Chain A
Amino acid sequence: MSATLDATAEEQAADLVLTQNLKGFIEEKKSVPGSLISVLHRIQNHFGFVPRSVAKETAALMGVPLAKIYGVITFYHYFRTDKPGRHEIAVCMGTACYLKGGQDLIDELETLLGCSCGETSADGEFSISAVRCIGCCGLAPVMTVDGEVHGNLKPEDLAGIVAKYRET
């Protein structure tokens, strides 16, 4: 995950600003030491990622340098700085899933969606990422789509699953 320093046009768009609700949460948390990560979780839950414009606003509101916020965002795998697809696919690459063909699932998804792992498909519908163990090793190999777990998968199952989400 890399953070570009220049704000993109998308980030400057008017809707990528803190909501009243989020502002309230930050006000409430800013005096609680160590709450930056909880604030970032709340922001990512709302936007699906941490937009640069919002990171700047947050820095001002919390009184911390923007560099500190980006230091945290880029350290942790969970936070992302780019907009995810409408549906987020996470393929488990824990050891059990790796042994049972997790990589084959990623290869198949890349072919199906025409984008590589870590990217979003051109139509903005799906993004693919590889995640560490999601703790469903008994069902390996597994992936989640928008948090919903699909287990015991074979590459040939994926086209059907993708099609199902495309419709919803």
Chain B
Amino acid sequence: MAYKQYLLVCSGTACESNRSRDLTEALTGAVAKAGLAGDVQVVKTGCFGFCEKGPIVKVLPEETFYVQVKPEDADDIVNEHLVKGRPVERLTYRSRESRSFAKLEDIDFYQKQVRVVLRNCGVIDPDSIDEYIARDGYVALEKALFELTPDDILGELRTSGLRGRGGAGFPTWMKWKFTKEAKDPDKYVMCNADEGDPGAYMDRSTLEGDPHSILEAMAIAGRTVGASRGVIYIRAEYPLAIERLETAIGKAKEYGLLGEKILGTDFSFDIEIRLGAGAFVCGEETALIASTEGNRGMPIPRPPFPAVKGLWKKPTVINNVETLANIPVIIARGGDWYARIGTETSKGTKVFALTGKINNSGLIEVPMGTTLRDIIYGIGGGIRGGKAFKAVQTGGPSGGLIPAANLDTPIDYENLAGLGSIVGSGGMIVMDEDDCVVDIVKFYLDFSVDESCGKCAPCRIGGRQLYDYMDKISAGKAGPDDIGKIRDIAFAMQKASLCGLGQTTPNPVLSALRHFEEEVAEHIESKRCPAGKCTRLVVYTIEADKCIGCTVCARRCPVNCIRGERRTPHEIDQDACIKCGQCLEACKFNAVVKS
């Protein structure tokens, strides 16, 4: 490569929606105009993770990191930075103390991160197989074909301690071993890219930023278990990821890294893409298989597990995207190396989509064992707008709320389970004092009820019942016995539901009862919502001593429920009030009070 400098432009979905495509064109144009086309290459890369500050441009080799770059800034970057050698100060990242940072590794957002899964995201052009190979891509596949036996590979995975990243945390080597030992000669490798957890986009970014790592891992899995066919089941809602996977598969075939007789060996492996169609339950293994077979995505009882009887009733190993992305590194660098990262029971790193009421939203990767506090206050830069932290939610609709008292917990599978949540696929949503736990729990239950496939009664009926009880609580109509009923339903669902969806639907409710009992009780006993989110509990009143009778609120009220003579204090008819809050907004004398 003869270029002297490189401009890396993020082309993840978030940055593309912030005009990073126009930016790439503007930069390319500006580089050409300055006569630098032979010296500087503009490269579109995968996600840098710092989505909050996108679009992002990184200049190599000096590693200057520019944030929130607009196409209009292209000339400045080229003329100032590339031509005159002066970094463009106004585009570098500023911390809250407004210190300016020119380099990525100095930024608080990146300091505690360790990038294994996201090693190539934001570094290479995802559409270029050459760049993947230049970063040691397909080295692991070569090693798996020429140096290691399938048992050696299983051994490395076992040493690495890698556990499934889709949520359940089952040891990956065991899954592979079951499929390897299955007698049937026809076997499948499946990649579960049906990332349905609302508020999580780890898999999307990995697929968009480093598609070859998944293909390489699937081929290694095929070689290990003795499968020659792979299927990637991906959400139809991720068009960019699908496009990049298709390009990657085409290129890998062209290079002889997929298809017949890979690298001249007897091993053949082909991968096809199957599109999901928007059903959360399809993340469950047996439902995923049903959907891949073209049916309604409904789970079936296990055992037999898919490892023995899966796609088309053949032994099938199913791994999540993030699990697979770890595999080439483990094979290339050894299980020992990987096992040095993380905690006793949970090895390696975990990618989280850190979102919600936080200063630095984005995609992060940290070693297992990092504390929630380090993530939220270190990497995340604390709560937005100086508000108070309330809870962090992990594991999406199957997970739970974790309160401030447990912020120093090191993250691993066992610790989060101990707190009534789960690591899950990696959604991490931060909530502040304005959020109400009853409201949040209702949001998750609404999701789970909607996504329940309806096959088994505990999930179909139980989820709806839980939602109705929470709705009663948020309307101020619940009684003290209702908590006991909620616990009974939750218990029944956990024990009797057919699949993970129904078994984990009660988790958000139970964690709210465990960590935020007082807040739930306040809704029930005092009919009060401390955060003011449960609108049916909110009461608007007019303070007589402040009201001058200007009639503005009465004229604004959409249901005409405010009465009073001009120049005398007004009054709100509570029975007719729809709690829209317009009177509060309209009053210039702070006479309207929300409580």
A→B interface (CB under 8 Å): 33-38, 40-41, 71-72, 75-79, 93-96, 98-100, 131-140, 142, 147-151
CA of A51 to CA of B105, assembled, Å: 54
- Interface status of B204 (Cβ within 8 A of chain A): yes
Task: Quote the shortest CB–CB distance from A64 to chain B (angstroms).
Answer: 9
Interfacial chain A residues near B170, Cβ < 8 Å: none
Are B277 and A78 within 8 A (Cβ)?
Answer: yes
- Interface status of B195 (Cβ within 8 A of chain A): yes
Are A75 and B198 within 8 A (Cβ)?
Answer: no
In chain A, what residue has the closest Cβ to B54? A138
Contact with A along B230-259 (1 / 0, CB 8 A): 000000111100000000000000000000
Contact with A along B367-379 (1 / 0, CB 8 A): 0000000000000
Interfacial chain B residues near A142, Cβ < 8 Å: 17
CA of A76 to CA of B425, assembled, Å: 22
CA of A99 to CA of B393, assembled, Å: 12
Are B443 and A151 within 8 A (Cβ)?
Answer: no
Q: State whether A151 and B14 are in contact (beta carbons under 8 Å apart), knowing that A34-B293, A72-B296, A137-B51 are contacts in the complex.
A: yes
Q: State whether A151 and B396 are in contact (beta carbons under 8 Å apart), knowing that A93-B198, A96-B361 are contacts in the complex.
A: no
Task: Quote the shortest CB–CB distance from A145 to chain B (angstroms).
Answer: 11
**Candidate in B51, B277, B293 with the most chain A CB atoms within 10 angstroms:** B277
Q: How many cross-chain pairs have Cβ atoms below 8 Å apart between A and B?
A: 136
**Candidate in A35, A95, A136, A151 with the most chain B CB atoms within 10 angstroms:** A95
B→A interface (CB under 8 Å): 13-14, 16-18, 51-52, 54, 195-201, 204-205, 236-239, 274-280, 291-297, 312, 353, 355-357, 361-363, 393, 396, 427, 429, 431, 435, 440, 443-444, 447, 453
Task: Quote the shortest CB–CB distance from A91 to chain B (angstroms).
Answer: 13
State the 9 A-B residue pairs at the shortest beta-carbon distance, nearest first: A138-B51, A149-B17, A135-B201, A76-B277, A95-B199, A77-B278, A94-B198, A137-B355, A78-B278
**Candidate in A33, A34, A151 with the most chain B CB atoms within 10 angstroms:** A34
CA of A148 to CA of B22, assembled, Å: 14
Interfacial chain A residues near B200, Cβ < 8 Å: 133, 135, 137
In chain A, what residue has the closest Cβ to B199? A95
Q: State whether A76 and B17 are in contact (beta carbons under 8 Å apart), knowing that A41-B275, A96-B355 are contacts in the complex.
A: no
Are B277 and A40 within 8 A (Cβ)?
Answer: yes
Task: With A38-B275, A134-B237 given, name 6 new contacts (CB 8 A).
Answer: A33-B312, A34-B295, A75-B296, A78-B278, A138-B362, A149-B14
Q: Which of B14, B276, B291, B440 contacts A138 (CB 8 A)?
A: B14
CA of A79 to CA of B14, assembled, Å: 25
Interfacial chain B residues near A75, Cβ < 8 Å: 279, 296-297, 453
Can you report 9 residue pairs joining A to B where beta carbons are below 8 Å apart? A33-B312, A34-B312, A41-B236, A72-B295, A95-B356, A96-B429, A99-B357, A99-B431, A139-B17
Interfacial chain A residues near B297, Cβ < 8 Å: 75-76
**Candidate in A41, A77, A138 with the most chain B CB atoms within 10 angstroms:** A138
Are B198 and A95 within 8 A (Cβ)?
Answer: yes
Are A139 and B199 within 8 A (Cβ)?
Answer: no
Interfacial chain B residues near A40, Cβ < 8 Å: 277
Interfacial chain A residues near B312, Cβ < 8 Å: 33-34
Are A96 and B236 within 8 A (Cβ)?
Answer: no
Q: Which of A131, A138, A149 contacts B361 (CB 8 A)?
A: A138
Task: Quote the shortest CB–CB distance from B438 to chain A (angstroms).
Answer: 14
